[in-house]
Amino acid sequence: MRILRFLTLFAGCAIWAGSASAQLQLTPQAAPAAPPKASKPAPPKATAKAPAEARKAPAAAKKPPAPATKPAEPAAAAPVDPNADLVYGAYQRGEYKTAFDLATKRAQDNNDPKAMTMLGELYANAMGVKRDYAKAAEWYQRAAERGDREGMFALAMLRLSGRGVTANREEGAKWLASSAKLGNPKAAYNLALLYLDGQTFPQDLKRAAELLRVAADAGNPEAQYALATFYKEGTGVEKNVDKAVRLLQAAALADNVDAEVEYAIALYNGTGTPKNEAAAVALLRKASRQNSPIAQNRLARVLALRTDVPADRLEGLKWHIVAKTAGKGDLMLDELLAKASPEDRTKAQDAARKWLGSPK
């Protein structure tokens, strides 16, 4: 079973980190058609032009001056929408000090749980205030106790990691379950991982799959990728390659790099989806540029064997060198690199160094 990742609310709370390995075959065949060019985004709609200036009316006959009138009073300011979330608006604009001040007032005056969660977020990520995990935990606790599902989730992740509070997996799991019950897909995903690892709860693959399905249906790409792995391997669910590939496609469209790699391999081999080598190569290139060693290795295999396309062969050797630097070696590609002409080897090595940012 692949190692899955805890999905956290903020970067500082990562507990487990592991890259999923793509255990799929990729046998290069004849050179596929060139990958489709990325479609250009539609040009923005033209804004309406200001109306042409009206022609001046002919001068009217002179009239006696009109009696003086009171100057027009300025228009009243538009009323402030009482439902507008000024705290979140300031946060979205990057005005963290303003968000902090507004959230503090709302938390103290109105016992607003969402404002309390915002204060926890600001303290945890050093936004507008010095980072303080202990204070973040205090605010998350207050928000969680008042029923805010995001506060519950954030508090759970702090409890699991022991940041700002004493590590307590049982308490963390309790808050994850409460948040998941309120429909938080991130909480459902992480709770699934606890059922999967069998430390906090007895391992329950079926329950883990159910929770992953909840999060995947809500559009969580990490859950979509994890559930795809379950369907591919028959873990907690009946094995179903077609469902696995559909989930991989959804996660890949959401820029999950691991899913991009495995969906590309499925496309290349025609596994659970119509074969499309051009689209597969395009996806492998995308994932390779996001520094996935597995994608770099698979892309190198496809391109390096295209003996009829010298540019592709050189690019393949470049990606092999890059992947090998990241620990993803390949004996077959080592042999191809050794058999290349000295000129081609030098070009591939120079291209790899340029990608890696290494000096000559």
What are the chain's domains?
90-182 (1.25.40.10)
Tens of each residue's pLDDT in the chain, 360 residues: 554 665 544 333 332 223 333 333 454 433 333 433 434 334 333 333 333 333 333 333 344 444 444 444 444 443 444 445 899 999 999 999 999 999 999 999 999 999 999 999 999 999 999 999 999 999 999 999 999 999 999 999 999 999 989 999 999 999 999 999 999 999 999 999 999 999 999 999 999 999 999 999 999 999 999 999 999 999 999 999 999 999 999 999 999 999 999 999 999 999 999 999 999 999 999 999 999 999 999 999 999 988 788 999 999 999 999 999 999 999 999 999 999 999 999 999 999 999 999 765
The first and second tokens of residue 126, run together, are 């050093």
- Which amino acid, residue 79? P
DSSP category for residue 76 = P
Q: Which residues contact 104 (CB under 8 A, 6 or more apart)?
A: 115, 119
- Which amino acid, residue 315? E
Whole-prediction pTM: 0.75
DSSP category for residue 72 = P
- In order, the DSSP letters of 227-288 are HHHHHHHTSSS---HHHHHHHHHHHHHTT-HHHHHHHHHHHHHTSSS---HHHHHHHHHHHH
Hey, how many other C-beta atoms are within 10 angstroms of the C-beta on 273?
18
